Amino acid sequence: MQEYIDKAAVLVEALPYIRTFAGKTVVIKYGGAAMAAAGLRDAVMQDVALMRFVGMNPVVVHGGGPEVSALMERLGMTPRFVDGLRVTDAATMEIAQMVLVGKTNREIVGALVAQGAKAIGLSGHDGGLIRATRHLHRGRDGELVDLGFVGDVAAVDAQVIESLTASGFVPVIAPIGLGADGQPYNINADTVAAEVAAALRAEKLVLLTDVEGLRADPADPRSRVSRIAAEDLRDWLAAGRIEGGMIPKVEACLRALEAGVRRVHIVDGRVPHALLLEVFTDQGVGTMVVR
């Protein structure tokens, strides 16, 4: 009997969240541990499907770096990175695209379809969804470094996504953009997620990461803050309190908030169903950044 009561309590706790987010768009950046471990992967797929079934419009943007390097190595190529960015010559770009679109994206779409969600895979090519320009990277000495086909987002065509969600699809987007000449560009997935959220004026952008959230003290894992204002976060960034791989993520968050996204969540993708718990329950499991 207590089991019944507990179950009912959880469902009832979800009610106000379902009510609030009905018809709202939530962009989810999917990557890291949540993509690597099978159990976590299934949990994310269930969470996204549930979001769709209760009336939200989830949009998934995924990364996929390690698998790109793996195929390169099988082909005898040596992946090279500058400041965390993959140096992307034409051969690398072709491999990256084959892996991201032809493998990672297919696996996610297939897994969502298995959960009953009408997922559809996309890259920047489809309907001209993501237009890219070459990323101009300056090294520490301020010199331009040629990274090849690494791109910035020039434009996202929100109508392509909106016509798909209106037809009941769950878009799953690989982070590749098309240059003006039809050349594909490799783009950071956090950036793509932020720009997609911005173009859709999404209610939420959720970044599934491998940390438990933002820390008041970068060195102390127990110092997670559960809520922070965008301007405070900007101060943290300026003050050097954000480090390493979190810097581009935080920049993407701030970019999305400026463009009209209401909330950004940095969520610990290592916790099963972290997405679900963040969206449908009173406890968040990460850091929420608000305007």
Binding segment for a second copy among 79-87, 97-105, 207-215, 216-224 (CB under 8 A)?
97-105
Q: d(Cα 144, Cα 141) in Å, to the nearest integer?
A: 9
Distance (Å, rounded) from C-alpha 247 to C-alpha 250? Answer: 5
Q: Which of residues 4-33 bind a second copy (CB under 8 A)?
A: 4-8, 10-16, 18-19, 22
CB closer to a second copy out of 97 and 188:
97
Residues in 43-72 that interact with a second copy by CB under 8 A:
43, 46-47, 49-50, 53-55, 71
Amino acid at the residue 203: E
Task: Report the 10 Å Cβ neighbour count for 218.
Answer: 16
Query: Is 137 one of the binding residues for a second copy (CB under 8 A)?
Result: no
Total residues in contact with a second copy, by rule CB under 8 A: 73
Per-residue contact string for residues 101-130; x = within reach of a second copy by CB under 8 A? xxx-xx--xxx-xxxx-xxxxxx-xxxx--
Per the annotation, does 179 bind a ligand?
no
Does the footprint of a second copy cover residue 136 (CB under 8 A)?
A: no
3-class SS letters over 57-84: EEEEEECCHHHHHHHHHHCCCCCCEECC
CA angle at residue 168 from 165 to 169, to 5 degrees? 65
Torsion angle of C-alpha atoms 228, 137, 132, 161, degrees rounded to 10: -20
Residue 90 lies near a second copy (rule: CB under 8 A): no
Residue numbers 250-279 binding a second copy by CB under 8 A: 271-273, 276-277
Q: Which is nearer to a second copy, 144 or 180 (CB)?
A: 180
